Structure 1
Amino acid sequence: MTLAHFTTSDGLRLAYDDRGTGLPLLCLPGLTRNMDDFNTLLAPLAGRCRLIRMDYRGRGRSDHDPDFNNYNLLREAHDVVELLDLLGLARVAILGTSRGGLIAMALAAGFPQRLTGVILNDIGPVVGDAGLARIMDYVGKVPPYADLDALAEAMAVHAAAEFPGVPREVWRRHVAHWFEERPEGGLALRYDPALHKALLAQAATGALQDMWVFFEALKQFPLAVIRGANSDILSAETLAEMRRRHPVMMAAEIADRGHVPFLDEPEALALINAFLDTLPQGFSA
């Protein structure tokens, strides 16, 4: 099976992709991202595990939610559980990029019996203020470029401080995951712009807070963390505190990467494979 859809308990149609056999690894993307961000892993992990990817509600190929308040960690965590139930999977390992890592922490706290281990991609219990401000500034806004080629050219220039040396053609592959070209010209978001309203509402109620209590729930699982050396979301200080609280945690810092590493870097792939080696072999459900 590859791309498919399922219907949530509140009636939304969400997209997922399920391929391969063996140990199941569920890939959860970032806040405005979708399953295509994990295309970089399809070839390296082929034959290594059962790779499952999903688009949250309001992202990628999934339905938008008419109530933007449902764009929250707990509802999205429940969507994950409903997908696992549909697939008949008692437990999975999770690779969570940014928002996906926060959802993994929420699952560890609320549904620990569904997890075998977690990899966090450039996220921790504390979200850096500078990174959060940057996210709040761009979410819901369409980049002012004529097409994806122009956006890729701009990314190669404007993101050079955090991602030095990444060529335009690499950015072109990635921006096609996040935006699409409109027939009449210009770009469109591949997520619901109302996500910005959800972030503002959650900030006003204090819902956007550190998650050390949720991180503590990860102590019972194998844990690995990937950090972009130039990240403004996961600081070196937060990573150090995570190591202190979870001494056997595996970690890799990726040079010349900000938020978030692409996961095709040799150090990232080495850590993912080393993490998978720590999980029970032959485990499939």
Structure 2
Amino acid sequence: MTLSHFTTSDGLRLAYDDRGTGLPLLCLPGLTRNMDDFDTLLEPLAGRCRLIRMDYRGRGRSDYDPDFNNYNLLREAHDVVELLDHLGLAQVAILGTSRGGLIAMALAAGFPQRLTGVILNDIGPVVGTAGLARIMEYVGKTPPQPDLDTLADAMVRQTTGEFPGVTAQVWHRHVAHWFAERPEGGLSLRYDPALHKALLAQAATGALQDMWVFFDALKAFPLAVIRGANSDILSAETLAEMRRRHPVMLVAEIADRGHVPFLDEPEALALIGAFLDTLPPLPQGSPA
């Protein structure tokens, strides 16, 4: 990995990875996730686009914020804009997984001039209540398993309804992105546990409850949506309303996947390729 950092306007060092040439595609991960979740795209998209990945504040290899209240969509959207400024990019397409898709919607509403298109990975303007409750149960908590192998085995048992057929070997590859093994034994989070406090504080204020306004801002752009057929975050009903409001958006529903698809599925890769074909070419003189 060619890891780089930039410094935000409030002094945090955030990590990013920038590789390839051509149309820039910025990958934004889920709530507790980091850029490693997009490792599955490095080979399939090599030579296809300029692939940029970032770790939000408090996640992965980025600095933790001393004020957990800054773990919010609007601050994180501003961090994205500051990364684009740092890279000298006037515009970028976004592939947003879960939280990353919400940030993309916020950018479409607040900074539309910086976007060329958006892919939403298993997220929409309505977040399923069952899925949200499930997320609140684990955010900020260290898994009880002693190592990644044991955690991967547990994932096989715990996700048979949402991810049937996914092996322990596959789960090991993914959980190694989200947790680290301690030298003395046990696991540690690869994000700031204070993120749980931020979610509780934001839930209490009801911040950003109506995301349909943000979604409607995407009408101006090429849009694609990937949905896990077993998702408890993006429902079939919400997806149907999204299609009604944005009739030309591309859609792929991934069988045997919950929240979120891994993005190595053939249907997901085909949709990403089709989406890239809809993007306008780079203006002459733009950095590739």
Give the TM-score normalised by structure 2: 0.98
Asked if structure 2 preserves the Cα contact closer than 8 Å seen for 1:28 and 1:100, the reply is yes
2:181 is aligned to: 181
- Work out the CA distance in 2 between the residues paired with 1:14 and 1:248: 35
1:230 equivalent in alignment to 2:223: no
Secondary structure of the corresponding residue to residue 43 of structure 2: coil
2:140 is aligned to: 140
AA aligned to 1:2 is T
- Work out the CA distance in 2 between the residues paired with 1:155 and 1:83: 34
- 160-169 vs 208-217, greater mean Cα deviation: 208-217
1:270 is aligned to: 270
Secondary structure of the corresponding residue to residue 227 of structure 1: strand
What is the Cα deviation at residue 207 of structure 1?
Answer: 1.2
- 3-12 vs 274-283, greater mean Cα deviation: 274-283
* Cα offsets for 1:173-213 (capped at 9, x unmatched): 00000000011100000000000000000000001523000
- Work out the CA distance in 2 between the residues paired with 1:230 and 1:247: 23
Give the share of equivalent positions with the same residue, in percent: 88
1:252 equivalent in alignment to 2:252: yes
AA aligned to 1:151 is L
Give the TM-score normalised by structure 1: 0.99
1:216 is aligned to: 216
- Work out the CA distance in 2 between the residues paired with 1:199 and 1:64: 16
AA aligned to 2:254 is I
Asked if structure 2 preserves the Cα contact closer than 8 Å seen for 1:127 and 1:210, the reply is no
- Work out the CA distance in 1 between the residues paired with 2:42 and 2:92: 18
1:201 equivalent in alignment to 2:212: no
In structure 2, the gaps of 5 or more residues are none
AA aligned to 1:212 is W
- Give matches, 1:83-232, under 5 Å: 83-207=83-207, 209-232=209-232
Secondary structure of the corresponding residue to residue 192 of structure 2: coil
2:23 is aligned to: 23
Secondary structure of the corresponding residue to residue 96 of structure 1: strand
- Work out the CA distance in 2 between the residues paired with 1:71 and 1:259: 21
- Work out the CA distance in 1 between the residues paired with 2:208 and 2:33: 19
Asked if structure 2 preserves the Cα contact closer than 8 Å seen for 1:18 and 1:52, the reply is yes
AA aligned to 1:205 is T
What is the Cα deviation at residue 233 of structure 1?
Answer: 0.1
- 229-238 vs 200-209, greater mean Cα deviation: 200-209
- Work out the CA distance in 2 between the residues paired with 1:265 and 1:42: 14
- Work out the CA distance in 2 between the residues paired with 1:254 and 1:200: 31
* Cα offsets for 1:96-130 (capped at 9, x unmatched): 00000000000000000000000000000000000
What is the Cα deviation at residue 160 of structure 1?
Answer: 1.1
1:35 equivalent in alignment to 2:5: no
* Cα offsets for 1:224-254 (capped at 9, x unmatched): 0000000000000000000000010110000
- Give matches, 1:45-60, under 5 Å: 45-60=45-60
AA aligned to 2:183 is P
- 204-213 vs 47-56, greater mean Cα deviation: 204-213
Secondary structure of the corresponding residue to residue 224 of structure 2: strand
In structure 1, the gaps of 5 or more residues are none
What is the Cα deviation at residue 2 of structure 1?
Answer: 2.6
Asked if structure 2 preserves the Cα contact closer than 8 Å seen for 1:162 and 1:258, the reply is yes
